[in-house]
Structure 1
């Protein structure tokens, strides 16, 4: 058989594996090994490429550290305090708890940098509260799934780190560029939640009490400090994103260790009790964790990093093989053939959207970003702006079936079946698409804060 026949057979075979639910890492790995044999490429090249990713990718060290940060703030109780603050600010509006869930997603994302961690943490905490508060369980789960999309846009962002590594762009500038688009995504989804809940009469209202807002703000001070620490350090250039990740992990560990004995001295008060019933000491500290819990927390974070890191490495090799096959030239010629600035930009966005429907954001970024970014730059799209456009589109893929990773995560933590989430996901999807188009048409939304970062 000819090489083209073998390439077709192997590609169809791994596609079948993917449809059966075989992990994406294995699917890409099988394809890479099969293509290496067909093209006569020695497997030692694959091993060398994998090694280079892990030994030369200093920026990638931030990825496991930010994953660990998300787990630490969840275990310590900081995430619960952030959600309490969001609810005290928005609970007086119809759908306030839903909007608070979305606001809490934004705050959590500003520390963790992960979409799945954001969805899982906020969904597991607030879904039961929303159901008790009279919200439809499908809407509640869909809200957690949609809110998690900002996890990779609001800095720090794991996927921004990968994008900057691949395209040799300053990760700190990418982080800063994601602030305004990420905030726009949160507010757009809040507007959707308000409209849906107003129409259906969902949610119990609470009075807007500035004393409660103040107390919950004080209670969330550790979360705000962690967010400020990351953004201040990166925004002012005091430390790199990788250093910021290390500093934040250290901060969270210190908070966990120091808070626990104080929390126990107060009799381990319930974190579920209303803030109005707590003494000042109770909302100044979080429940924390013991040194003996750190290994289990770290192990969970390592498991997630252990899934992502090999996927990055094998996708880089896949990108190299696609280059040998001429796939980059084919896609590049197709996109360039669309015409000028806007034609190239919207064609690239369409490709990212379709790819996000069937692949996770990481392989989408690793495979397509090195192809599309240079083409966009050649027609005048600023590289950092295109990075934001690309990754906002990739984030939307988290709630687009049939893949929709956040839909699976939300289904898992809430117990609501996957297909029952889709009805209430659609309005959020359209709001995010509207933000995506606005961000693509107004470059200043991505770039206006960058000069201050330098």
Structure 2
């Protein structure tokens, strides 16, 4: 009889080949889970039960549909458009300004949605056509949206921070505050990478820097700033949970969308907008929506949720099987054997990076955080700082193949094939990895804003 470990290895090689042939990652992971379950003698009903538990008991997944719906509503209501207008007014005078504005808009959007996939989907669907019209390579434009979405789980509010805090018994408010500076650094580093790429390729249409335009777009984006303030105020003051915050934001965006449509029509549609001075943004999206359009918007969000939720669920089941195989004990013993502060820290980072390449951030957090955080604490790593280090690393996994969830989302909303995005993700990966190591080496970046520090 063939040794079970050999069969698990063969199954792993087989599903890897399937992925290379273009089989969807959900099916790849699903085939691995089913195959290994047979090898280990686990009844298949356990898989169904585990999947059901993820959907019914998974705290983070309860908020995911609302956050995704928030992203679509922010887009259709005109809030995301006005935030991007403000970012472009501030950065459009620089070579690659629209690409940098897309990344800035991702940061602002992340402060409302708390979701990497929603950030990528909204900014990608909205600004990708404009970047292509502005002379940017379509692959670079799609990769920019994917990279910008990585800050969705770092800039507060963030569902993953909540999950991490719950698992490790850390104050959620401290984790949120700790993510502000690293999130801003991630956006800044990606902007610099975009500038270098665009400067070398002479991409983008430049506009003159106008303080008046910056002021006008800031006034126009006040609803977006209000939405950001509403979410942060509600969570920080304890008025409502993050899931409730998503519901409140959905209600706010619905009201704004209903009001925006008649105002948009009264102003003559796009003719009433400022399109002077060769403005790249051509207002292709009508601002606002009617009550009759709300079901179709909700359906689109449900479709995205239907793609992401099973992928997350089957990843959790995969992690459970890995636990049965002894992966948790193996990882714990390996990291502990490293010894000193930096050895444990960098080994933990390497493990998070590798796991993030093949799994979604939620199961990576669920399985690895309880193992690695206590070990890091024993060697002197501040718990809140390690939380930020862990989750910044997990966020980088959103644009690292073969999994790269944001790459799949960007590919879906822009129509650019997955493998064609990979070339232009490399500069963003370098930028994010640089920030990651800086955050790891400088604890004050995570703890400076915390109270009583």
Q: TM-score range by the shorter chain?
A: 0.7 to 0.9
1:388 corresponding residue in structure 2: 388
1:280 corresponding residue in structure 2: none
User: Where does 1:183-222 land on structure 2 (aligned, <5 Å)?
Assistant: 183-222=184-223
Shift of residue 389, structure 1, vs aligned partner: 1.4
User: Where does 1:133-212 land on structure 2 (aligned, <5 Å)?
Assistant: 133-164=134-165, 166-167=167-168, 169-212=170-213
Aligned mates of 1:301, 1:447 — CA distance in 2: 36
1:434 corresponding residue in structure 2: 434
Shift of residue 381, structure 1, vs aligned partner: 2.6
CA contact (8 A) 1:159 1:362 kept: yes
Instruction: Name the CA shift for 1:36/1:357 in 2 (closer, same or farther; >3 Å).
Output: closer
CA contact (8 A) 2:60 2:160 kept: no
SS of corresponding position for 1:451 = coil
List runs of 5+ in structure 2 lacking aligned partners. none
Instruction: Name the CA shift for 1:313/1:199 in 2 (closer, same or farther; >3 Å).
Output: closer
List runs of 5+ in structure 1 lacking aligned partners. 278-282
Report the count of equivalent residues.
447
User: Where does 1:38-49 land on structure 2 (aligned, <5 Å)?
Assistant: 38-43=39-44, 45-49=46-50
Shift of residue 404, structure 1, vs aligned partner: 3.3
CA contact (8 A) 1:60 1:162 kept: no
Q: Does 2:410 correspond to 1:404?
A: no
Shift of residue 58, structure 1, vs aligned partner: 4.0
SS of corresponding position for 1:339 = coil
CA contact (8 A) 1:60 1:161 kept: no
1:229 corresponding residue in structure 2: 230
CA contact (8 A) 2:315 2:359 kept: no
**Higher mean Cα deviation, 64-73 or 442-451?**
442-451
Shift of residue 16, structure 1, vs aligned partner: 4.0
CA RMSD of aligned residues (A): 3.2
1:346 corresponding residue in structure 2: 346
User: Where does 1:285-324 land on structure 2 (aligned, <5 Å)?
Assistant: 287-324=287-324
Instruction: Name the CA shift for 1:40/1:175 in 2 (closer, same or farther; >3 Å).
Output: same
Aligned mates of 1:211, 1:123 — CA distance in 2: 28
**Higher mean Cα deviation, 116-125 or 103-112?**
116-125
Aligned mates of 2:213, 2:132 — CA distance in 1: 23
Aligned mates of 1:271, 1:378 — CA distance in 2: 61
TM-score normalized by structure 1? 0.86
SS of corresponding position for 2:334 = helix
Shift of residue 305, structure 1, vs aligned partner: 2.5
Shift of residue 346, structure 1, vs aligned partner: 0.7
**Higher mean Cα deviation, 367-376 or 296-305?**
367-376
Aligned mates of 1:87, 1:63 — CA distance in 2: 29
Aligned mates of 1:318, 1:28 — CA distance in 2: 7
Aligned mates of 2:195, 2:227 — CA distance in 1: 29
Aligned mates of 2:59, 2:416 — CA distance in 1: 40
TM-score normalized by structure 2? 0.86
SS of corresponding position for 1:122 = helix
Q: Does 2:325 correspond to 1:325?
A: yes
CA contact (8 A) 2:319 2:363 kept: no
User: Where does 1:258-297 land on structure 2 (aligned, <5 Å)?
Assistant: 258-270=259-271, 273-274=274-275, 287-297=287-297
Shift of residue 252, structure 1, vs aligned partner: 0.8
Instruction: Name the CA shift for 1:115/1:420 in 2 (closer, same or farther; >3 Å).
Output: same
Q: Deviations over 1:240-298 (max 9, x none)?
A: 21121111111111111222233333333447642799xxxxx9xx8211112222222
Q: Does 2:72 correspond to 1:71?
A: yes
